[in-house]
Amino acid sequence: MGLFAYTLAGGSLILIGGWESLVSDQPTTASPSSSVSTKKPPSSSSSSVTFVAVTVLSFLFVLNSLVSLIDAHNFKDSIGFVLQLEVIAIASLFLVYSIIGVLTHVNSSMLFPSSILNLLCLFGFIEEFMLFYLQRKDISGIENQYYDLLLVPIGVCVVSTMLELKTPKARYARLGRGIGLILQGTWLIQMGLSFFSSVIANGCSLHEKSRGNFTVKCKGHPEYHRGRAIATLQFNCHLAFLVVMVVGLYSFVSKKRVGGGFDGEYRQIGAEMQAIDGGGGGGGYSHQQFTLDSDDDDDKPGQDQGQDEIKEVRIKEKGEEVNGLDSH
């Protein structure tokens, strides 16, 4: 694919994931119907900008895979040919998902349930996961370590999409998918730099059988071990950078919202009780006495007198019993 293709794909995923993360807290509005007064459920939680961006990116992936497919056919590379067919299938699935989303936002009469779009998106991420999980053109190739680490952000996107499919109104699911797309984009750029530039580990080199089928081989076991360790270290740096960026962005957004939508005044616990008790001037609470007598007792004064007499008789009887025991 080349450094340009990896950089373009990674940068696009970063932009899409960043946009999805920023708008993840916005509520989804329903589209009104032209024939009835009731509201239909929203087509998807993703915005129209996301659908358009995914459409363009998926179309570019299909074109790039077609070029690589022709190149693999010219070099008689059967593995590269089959590999590009898998990429085209995945890109086509995301292309169908994005086109349906765009049509839904453009024409309200073509409203699809959000579960269908989320299901298409889930199938796309699962196929992408299986593509990099099963891609072992060369067992000893360094690129396999990069593919294994790429499974982490793809897995985050799979889990987030499953949560959104179960609970369409879950905002954190959309935020998690956006973060997964950002990490996937940054790692794709790192893969392009490591495979097609001088950033690759010392003692390792790129070997291409066709445009879309390549492997990274090293001279010996120490070089292989160092190359895998460098890949793991690079991924940890990408993950740490993403965590710092997300925490900083979250702090900025939270501070902005607190300053705009919350007055920031401290309210003393129990202030409402002070207002009810009328103790505003003294600063203390006026302790009121409460009784367990019901309201019905107030309406029957004679009944209270009868109960008091019964209690006195019982107390006298108990006292006589106690005196009798003492005498013995």
CB 185 within 8 A of CB 11: yes
What pLDDT was estimated at residue 124?
94
What pLDDT was estimated at residue 309?
63
What pLDDT was estimated at residue 42?
45
Ranges of residues in the chain with a pLDDT under 50 are: 28-43, 260-266, 280-287, 290, 322, 325
Tell me the pLDDT tens digit for each residue of 301-314. Answer: 555 555 666 666 56
What pLDDT was estimated at residue 246?
83
What pLDDT was estimated at residue 60?
94
Alpha helices in 75-170 (DSSP H): 78-106, 114-134, 143-166
What pLDDT was estimated at residue 203?
85
**C-alpha of 292 from chain center:** 53
User: How many CA atoms does the CB half-sphere of 258 hold within 13 Å?
Assistant: 8
> Where in the chain are the domains?
2-25+42-247
What pLDDT was estimated at residue 262?
44
Retrieve residue 270's tokens: 């129990």
**Which SS3 state, helix, strand or coil, does residue 194 take?**
helix
| CA 137/CA 221 separation, integer angstroms | 19
What pLDDT was estimated at residue 302?
52
**Which SS3 state, helix, strand or coil, does residue 200 take?**
coil
What pLDDT was estimated at residue 41?
42
What DSSP letter does each residue of 63-99 carry, written as one string?
Answer: HHHHHHHHHHHHTT-HHHHHHHHHHHHHHHHHHHHHH
Tell me the pLDDT tens digit for each residue of 206-236. Answer: 888 888 888 898 888 888 899 899 999 999 9
